[in-house]
């Protein structure tokens, strides 16, 4: 492992620990919340994972500013996007959707707390995410910037964003869904939260509108490449590393890039998108884009 890879691994670990520490205290203990609801929310938040989206918030803010100082507002937004992501997984796992028994090697939320409480835990995580994002104004961010971030969060996680992608995914079937329709699913179900993460960080770092467009392009393309890699890993990944069964998409009749274009072409598309994402990022002329570029390469070569 090269020195840069070791440094990136250390960064990912330290950023994940920071976010996880904040998440532990994100629902104020003095708030009157039914104990089972609080417990169900914490269960899925503490399930681990790559913490990719919050890491992108932190790394993008640092790339725009040129240093790792003044992380307070970025950490609040990072926790917000992790809550949105976690809620989406809790609901995805429900019997009415993907009907999964395990997530990251642990029983899924509804298997532990029942379907009704899992639904409510997801609802509460989504709602609290907006509270956290708005709280960034108390942690050093300008109010106007926070308004833009909250607006983005609503759009990119809602009907025209992640939820729209989930709806299209539920309707997609092997032999029916076209490549263009699959791209829509992946761009919205997966890419949109990554677009939010990198643009929110960039907003906190003070970039202009032109740079923001390039950062958003980076997020869209790296998010699509990330999901194609997930499609590939679902077929050839290690179940122990993934924390879930492989071939689950195939068994569920879901359409994937390898199903439509084959494994070799899927890898080729993933590499092309990653390279295009990196070029878009360089065109944004951020002060220190190196870590985001390293993250792009890391995602393309991951095994989980």
Asked if CATH classification 3.40.50.300 holds for the domain at 3-300, the reply, yes or no, is no
Q: Who's near 53: CB < 8 A, 6+ residues apart?
A: 78, 81, 82, 85, 193, 194, 196, 197
Q: Who's near 289: CB < 8 A, 6+ residues apart?
A: 63, 281, 282
Instruction: State the pTM of this model.
Output: 0.92
**What does the pLDDT profile of the chain (304 residues) look like in tens digits?**
677 788 999 999 999 999 999 999 999 999 999 999 999 999 999 988 889 999 999 999 999 998 877 799 999 999 999 999 999 999 999 999 989 999 888 999 999 999 999 999 999 999 999 999 999 999 999 999 999 999 999 999 999 999 999 999 888 876 678 899 999 999 999 999 999 999 999 999 999 999 999 999 999 999 999 999 989 998 875 555 445 455 555 555 678 999 899 999 999 999 999 999 999 999 999 999 999 999 999 998 887 6
Residue 102: phi, psi to the nearest 5? -135, 145
């Amino acid at each position: 492992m090269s020195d840069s890879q070791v440094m990136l691994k250390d960064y990912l670990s330290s950023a994940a620990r920071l976010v996880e520490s904040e998440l532990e205290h994100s629902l104020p203990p003095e708030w009157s919340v039914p104990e089972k609801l609080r417990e169900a929310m914490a269960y899925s938040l503490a399930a681990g994972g790559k913490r990719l989206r919050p890491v992108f918030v932190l790394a993008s803010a640092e790339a725009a500013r040129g240093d790792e100082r003044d992380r307070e507002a970025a950490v609040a937004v990072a926790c917000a996007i992790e809550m949105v992501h976690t809620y989406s997984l809790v609901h995805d796992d429900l019997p009415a959707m993907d009907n999964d028994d395990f997530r990251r090697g642990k029983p899924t939320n509804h298997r532990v707390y029942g379907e009704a409480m899992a639904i409510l835990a997801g609802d509460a995580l989504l709602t609290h995410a907006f509270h956290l994002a708005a709280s960034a104004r108390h942690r050093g961010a300008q109010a106007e910037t926070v308004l833009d971030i909250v607006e983005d969060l609503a759009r990119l996680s809602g009907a025209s964003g992640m939820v729209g992608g989930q709806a299209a995914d539920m309707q997609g079937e092997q032999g029916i869904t076209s490549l263009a329709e699959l791209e829509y699913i992946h761009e919205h179900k997966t890419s949109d939260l990554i677009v939010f993460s990198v643009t929110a960080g960039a907003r906190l770092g003070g970039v202009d509108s032109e740079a923001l467009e390039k950062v958003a392009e980076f997020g869209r393309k790296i998010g699509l490449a990330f999901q194609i890699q997930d499609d590939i890993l679902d077929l050839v990944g290690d179940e122990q590393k993934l924390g879930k069964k492989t071939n689950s998409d195939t068994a569920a009749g879901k359409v994937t890039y390898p199903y439509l274009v084959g494994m070799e072409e899927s890898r080729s598309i993933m590499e092309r998108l990653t390279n295009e994402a990196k070029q878009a990022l360089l065109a944004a002329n951020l002060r220190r884009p190196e870590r985001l570029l390293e993250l792009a390469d890391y995602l393309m070569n991951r095994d989980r």
